[in-house]
Amino acid sequence: MTQFPKDFLWGAASAAYQVEGAHDVDGKGLSVWDVYSHQPGTTYQGTNGDDAADHYHRMEEDVALMAELGMSSYRFSISWARILPQGKGEVNLAGIDFYSRLIDNLLRHNIKPMITLYHWDLPQALQDEGGWEARATTEAFVEYAKVCYQHFGDRVDLWSTFNETVVFIGHGYITAQHPPGVRDPARGLQACHHVFIAHAKAVAAFRKAKVAGLVNQLAVIGFVNVLQPHTAASSSQKDIKAREIADAIFTHWFYDPVLKGQYPPELLNMAQTALGAPQFAPGDEKLLKDNICDFIGVNYYKREMIAANDGESITTQNTTGEKGSANEFGFRDLFKFVRNPDGEYTDWDWEIYPQGLSDGIMQITQRYGKIPIYVTENGLGYKDPIIDGEIVDDARIDYLRRHIEATRSAIALGADVRGYYPWSFIDLLSWLNGYQKQYGFVYVDRDNNLNRKKKKSFAWYQNVIQSHGQIL
Ligand code: BGP
């Protein structure tokens, strides 16, 4: 049986807005999520991240739990507005201090930090100036990235710029479920282009700064995408064609610019003809071409079944009332997302399909060559049963076990997978689903002072890590 490589990282992931809380203390500026989640009707029962898991104040306790778990890496995001309250200009030293202490604590326990610079929490001050639609935001992002390189670059080897552009742009500008809550695909495509430009500029600045990481190895910088493999619902030509279109829109559009340095040409042409966007500024092509990133992070939760749409109108809303299905993304003439009649689904209607993780990794490896890949998120959103005071999350153990096996299969097939980060280390805020959708190895008692308690999966993952994947 294939072994995990010797240096394979066993991690877990989180994001600032979902875990930190302390949304307005110690000089932090407001982010778009701080503002948006306070508007009526935007989130599940009005939940927000004001307190989240209060990781900001309990960081040392949390890192001690990570160490007990045996994690060799921790993926977290930096809150831009904690570092630069207005998005640019004045630096908030209390924010620098928090992340600096976090990094030092991790290193003390031999846990490699992996930083995500942007996990959706744009400073509101920049949104007020146009957000990602404004070209100037790309410059503000580079300014912010450079502050992070300067303060943390001597200790952090693994960096990524953006998390899941398809989600924050798709929901921000097409389904209107994330800030800025717009329904306008042309504006979305322009905003999306600026994200790729901001990424390319931040990669250029990273290389120019020769960010060293620990012991003067050159640190690396990547990009994190959703990995959502598509399967044709039947072997009919029209479903196969529909699947190809879904791949081009949801996968190639988001991976090609950072791994090939260009958009898929046919799709770019279609978008520019139909919507007049994205518009390029002089030099953009070269910027993308010159700044291919070092690795790709993939977040995998589910696959999607695709069929040709024969003109019927589709509305989907799952049992929990969560909206945001990809069917709402506005490509109804081209294809539709269908349920797998034989599929295994979560309470939120996400298909559990471990093979999709290995298939997706192999699709990337085939399209872009053998690039380093990290599985930067993977996990089960679940209402964990509490039996006699114990959190018995067997379903999570089963989900993770099968997906770690799928990761191993991809390695056996020749992919260069270097780490696996379950979502999440701790129960945290689900953007649109509040605190009822749990993901962590560590439970947070929301009725009792946010106290931490280890779940059954904690001991299980501890064994997985200790045995380097042997006990699966
Ligand atoms: C990913 C995000 C994470 C996390 C996860 C689970 O798309 O990068 O931040 O939220 O999805 O999603 P949800 O909370 O909607 O279940």
The answer to whether the CB of 163 is under 6 A from ligand 1 is yes
Tell me, what amino acid is at 145?
A: A
For residue 346, the model assigns a pLDDT of 96
Would you say residue 23 lies in a domain?
A: yes
**What gap in Å lies between CA 32 and CA 269, rounded to an integer?**
32
The answer to whether the CB of 423 is under 6 A from ligand 1 is yes
**What gap in Å lies between CA 228 and CA 231, rounded to an integer?**
10
Which residue, judged by its Cα, is nearest atom 9 of ligand 1?
15
Distance 63 CA to ligand 1 centre (A): 21
CATH of the domain at 313: 3.20.20.80
Q: Is the model's pLDDT at 362 over the cut of 80?
A: yes
Q: Is the model's pLDDT at 327 over the cut of 70?
A: no
Q: How many domains does the chain have?
A: 1
Would you say residue 2 lies in a domain?
A: no
Which is higher by pLDDT, 254 or 314? 254
Distance 309 CA to ligand 1 centre (A): 28
State pLDDT tens for residues 83-137: 999 999 999 999 999 999 999 999 999 999 999 999 999 999 999 999 999 999 9
Q: Which atom of ligand 1 is nearest to the CA of 167?
A: 7
Would you say residue 420 lies in a domain?
A: yes
Q: End-to-end distance of the chain based on CA atoms, in angstroms?
A: 12
Would you say residue 441 lies in a domain?
A: yes
The answer to whether the CB of 430 is under 6 A from ligand 1 is yes
Distance 429 CA to ligand 1 centre (A): 9
Give which of 264, 254, 256 is closest to 369, Cα–Cα. Answer: 256
**What gap in Å lies between CA 332 and CA 312, rounded to an integer?**
9
Q: Is the model's pLDDT at 321 over the cut of 80?
A: no
Using alpha carbons, list the distances in angstroms from residue 456 to 29, 125, 391, 396, 460: 37, 42, 6, 9, 7
DSSP 130-191: TGGGSTHHHHHHHHHHHHHHHHHTTT--EEEEEE-HHHHHHHHHTS--STT----HHHHHHH
Distance 18 CA to ligand 1 centre (A): 9
**What gap in Å lies between CA 139 and CA 137, rounded to an integer?**
5
Q: Is the model's pLDDT at 385 over the cut of 80?
A: yes
Task: Give the confidence band of 331 by pLDDT, cuts at 50, 70, 90.
Answer: low
Would you say residue 1 lies in a domain?
A: no
Q: Which atom of ligand 1 is nearest to the CA of 163?
A: 8
Tokens representing 369 are 């060559």
For residue 317, the model assigns a pLDDT of 37
- Taking residues 225-249, report their average pLDDT: 95
The answer to whether the CB of 15 is under 6 A from ligand 1 is yes
- Taking residues 296-322, report their average pLDDT: 71
Task: Give the confidence band of 324 by pLDDT, cuts at 50, 70, 90.
Answer: very low
For residue 312, the model assigns a pLDDT of 52
Distance 183 CA to ligand 1 centre (A): 21
**What gap in Å lies between CA 17 and CA 116, rounded to an integer?**
12
For residue 454, the model assigns a pLDDT of 98
Cβ atoms of residues 358 and 375 within 8 Å = no
Q: Which atom of ligand 1 is nearest to the CA of 18?
A: 9
State pLDDT tens for residues 70-89: 999 999 999 999 999 999 99
Would you say residue 148 lies in a domain?
A: yes
Would you say residue 4 lies in a domain?
A: no
Would you say residue 334 lies in a domain?
A: yes
What SS3 state is found at 362? helix
Q: Catalytic amino acids?
A: 164, 377
Lowest mean pLDDT among 75-79, 318-322, 365-369: 318-322
Tokens representing 319 are 């049992």
For residue 323, the model assigns a pLDDT of 39
What proportion of the chain, given as a percentage, has pLDDT over 90? Answer: 92
For residue 295, the model assigns a pLDDT of 98
Cβ atoms of residues 54 and 450 within 8 Å = yes
State pLDDT tens for residues 272-299: 999 999 999 999 999 999 999 999 999 9
Q: Is the model's pLDDT at 233 over the cut of 70?
A: yes
For residue 466, the model assigns a pLDDT of 98
For residue 329, the model assigns a pLDDT of 54
Domain limits for position 286: 9-466
Pocket test for ligand 1, best of 423, 429, 432, 433 (most atoms within 8 A of CB): 423
